[in-house]
Amino acid sequence: MSLRLGVMASGRGSNFLAVQREIEDGTLDAEIALLVSDRARAPAFDRAREHDVPSLHLPYDKQDREAFERTAADAFDRAACDYILLAGFMRILTPYFIRRFSGRILNIHPSLLPSFKGLHPQRQALEAGVKFSGCTVHLVTEDLDAGPILAQAVVPVYENDDEDRLAARILAQEHRVYPEAVRALTAAGG
């Protein structure tokens, strides 16, 4: 079943691009119907323009987080999105948004959850001295980085790694595993 996807991103947008590329290559039966970002200058917007993906900047108001979320959710509904993919979206969603798309929001996190939730997971992995880390695609629930796991990939952690080197190794796997997790949803009939 072909899925309509909404994406939320705050920055570079390489995961967004990885999903879009598989759609264009025909290996993923889906369409990114709308990209939403809270940052006007997010490089993700350039990627959206280059790939003809509709996009929308919504200013984020810390005093009224639901206002942002309501506008975003209405836009995703108007675009008839089946699933929302968080791809480097740096805001924590409130229960309002999570309930509105219950079971239909995915996130990618650069650690092997349930280890190293929250910020700087690659740094946390180095500090813990683990020999393997990786990334996790999971459903978003009201508990941060704790929803049901859909897919994971493992990478080695080397003695001389720094945060950037480890992050790059993990990111390469994110680009493989995020489209794969979405493909599993299409295979399951959405």
Binders of ligand GRF among residues 7 to 46 (CB under 6 A) are 9, 11-15
Contact residues for 40 (Cβ-Cβ < 8 A; gap 6+): 57, 59
Q: Which is nearer to ligand GRF, 1 or 43 (CB)?
A: 43
Kindly list the catalytic residues.
Answer: 109
Phi first, then psi: give them for residue 171, nearest 5 degrees: -60, -40
Binders of ligand GRF among residues 169 to 188 (CB under 6 A) are 171, 174
In the list 39, 47, 109, 183, the residue contacting ligand GRF (rule: CB under 6 A) is: 109
In the list 34, 47, 110, 182, the residue contacting ligand GRF (rule: CB under 6 A) is: 110
Counting Cα atoms < 13 Å in the Cβ hemisphere of 42 gives 28
The yes or no reply on residue 88 touching ligand GRF (CB under 6 A) is: yes
The yes or no reply on residue 58 touching ligand GRF (CB under 6 A) is: no
Q: Which is nearer to ligand GRF, 70 or 120 (CB)?
A: 120
Entry field: residues in the chain: 190
DSSP β-bridge partners for residue 186: none
The yes or no reply on residue 134 touching ligand GRF (CB under 6 A) is: no
Q: Which is nearer to ligand GRF, 8 or 33 (CB)?
A: 8
Give one DSSP letter per residue of 32-87, joined into a string: EEEEEES-TT-HHHHHHHHTT--EEE----TT-HHHHHHHHHHHHHHTT-SEEEES
Cβ at position 66, least distance to ligand GRF in Å: 22
Cβ at position 118, least distance to ligand GRF in Å: 11
Contact residues for 137 (Cβ-Cβ < 8 A; gap 6+): 106, 107, 108, 149, 150, 151, 152, 177, 178, 181
Interacting residues with ligand GRF (CB under 6 A)? 9, 11-15, 87-88, 108-110, 171, 174
